[in-house]
Amino acid sequence: MGCGTSVYIIDPEHEYGRLAQQLGGVDVPLALGSGHSLNVLDLRPSDHRDESWLGPAAADAVDLCACICGGIDESERALVEGAVRQAYDEVTQPVLRDVADRLPRETRVAVILHRWVHGSLGQMFSAHTNVDLDAPIVVFGMRELRDEMIAPVHFLLAEALWTRIKRRDRRRLLVIDELGLLFEDATIRRFVVSLARRIRKYDGSLVFATQNPGDLLTSDQGAVVATNPAIVFLGAQRPGEAAKLQDAFRLSPKQRTFLETSHRGDFLLSAGKDRLSVKVQAPPWQEEVMRAGRTTSQSASRPPP
C-alpha cells in the first residue's frame, strides 16, 4: 500500500472488512440488500466503443447470462449478444435490465433474467457499479451469499479484477482466503488457475490461504495453484495432509515431522529448493489492529449511500 499497490481481498467468511476500513480501504459485503452492485456492462471503462472494445464487453455480458441461466445454447447466445449490442447502442449507460428488456419475452433466457434484474437481485446485478474498485484495499465479503448467487458473483469479481490487473497502471495484490472453499466453484477455480500462471506478467501478486492444502493437490488445477507460488508458508498439518505436502513439495521426513508437530506461529518456508523453519509473530501494532478488526467483524456493514 505504501508503494501505491492496490489490494483486493476475496473473503468468504467476511473476516477482514473492519481491518480494511482501519487501513483506509473499503468493506464490500456482497449479499441481498447490501446495497452494493457490480454492473457487468461497465466492467471495461473506455472513452470509445469500437469493435475492439465492444466484442469483449459483449462477451462478458453473454457469459454472465449463461452463468445465471445454468448455461445457454448457441441460439440463445446469439439472442443475448444481439440484445447486449442493442443496449449499448441505445442506452448511454446500460445495465443488465436493458439487455433483458430487449430479449423476446417468452424465451427461456428472458424468463430467467427477469427475476435477476428486478427486486433484491436486480439491486446487485442490474444497477450501476457503486463499489470503489480503485480504493487502496477492497474486501469482498461473501459470507451471506445465497448458493444461487455464488457463481454469478464469482464471475463478476473475476472479470472486474482481471480487467484491472491487466491495465498495468499500478501494482495489484490479490489475496484469497479459504481458497479450498472457493475452489469448489468452477468459475473462481478457472480464474485462480489463470492468475497463478499469468499474474506476474502484469506486475501483480497472488496470495492465498487454505486450511486444507492437501485438497488442492487432488486435482491438476489445484496442484498448479498450490505448487506455483514463489514462496509458500506451510503450517501445522494432520499426518494425512502432511504426507500429501511431503510429496508435492519434496519434503524430507524431518520436515514432514515438523509440520505434524508444529504449534501456532510455526511454519516451514518453501522457496524454490530451499526449506526453512520459521516462527511468525505479529508486532504489537499489528496485533492491535487485527484484534480490533476481529471484535467488530460481526457488525453489519453499512451499504453505500
- Last residue of one domain, picked from the residues 107, 125, 143: 125
Asked if residue 238 and residue 99 are part of one domain, the reply reads no
Asked if residue 97 and residue 13 are part of one domain, the reply reads no
| Chain Cα centroid distance, residue 183 | 11
Domain annotation covers residue 185: yes
Asked if residue 19 and residue 168 are part of one domain, the reply reads yes
Q: Domain count of the chain?
A: 2
Q: What residues form DSSP beta bridges with 283? A: none
Asked if residue 119 and residue 141 are part of one domain, the reply reads no
**pTM (predicted TM-score):** 0.87
Distance spanning both ends of the chain, measured CA to CA: 26
Asked if residue 174 and residue 77 are part of one domain, the reply reads no
Domain annotation covers residue 221: yes
- Residue 56 belongs to what domain range? 40-125
Asked if residue 276 and residue 163 are part of one domain, the reply reads yes
Backbone angles phi, psi at 206, to 5 degrees: -120, 125
Integer Cα distance of 12 and 18 in angstroms: 14
- Last residue of one domain, picked from the residues 94, 125, 156: 125
Say if CB 136 and CB 6 are below 8 A apart. yes
Asked if residue 270 and residue 170 are part of one domain, the reply reads yes
- What does each C-alpha distance from 58 to 43, 52, 176, 209, 249 come to in angstroms? 11, 11, 28, 34, 42
Asked if residue 116 and residue 55 are part of one domain, the reply reads yes
Domain annotation covers residue 301: no
- Last residue of one domain, picked from the residues 79, 102, 125: 125
Domain annotation covers residue 305: no
Asked if residue 100 and residue 198 are part of one domain, the reply reads no
Q: What residues form DSSP beta bridges with 3? A: none
Integer Cα distance of 128 and 141 in angstroms: 19
pLDDT tens-digit profile, the chain (305 residues): 556 789 999 999 998 998 899 889 999 999 999 999 999 999 887 767 789 889 999 999 999 999 999 999 999 999 999 999 999 999 999 999 999 999 999 999 999 999 999 999 999 999 999 999 999 999 999 999 999 999 999 999 999 999 899 888 889 999 999 998 888 888 888 899 998 889 989 999 999 999 888 878 888 888 889 888 899 999 999 999 999 999 999 999 999 999 999 999 999 999 989 999 999 988 888 788 777 766 555 454 444 44
Predicted local confidence at residue 45, as pLDDT: 73
Predicted local confidence at residue 304, as pLDDT: 47
Say if CB 116 and CB 122 are below 8 A apart. yes
Closest to 83 (Cα-Cα) out of 53, 62, 111, 57: 62
Q: What residues form DSSP beta bridges with 71? A: none
Domain annotation covers residue 94: yes
Asked if residue 80 and residue 229 are part of one domain, the reply reads no
Asked if residue 114 and residue 228 are part of one domain, the reply reads no
Closest to 183 (Cα-Cα) out of 227, 149, 223: 223
Read off the CATH number of the domain in which 243 is found. 3.40.50.300
- What does each C-alpha distance from 124 to 85, 120, 129, 222 come to in angstroms? 22, 7, 9, 30
Predicted local confidence at residue 285, as pLDDT: 81
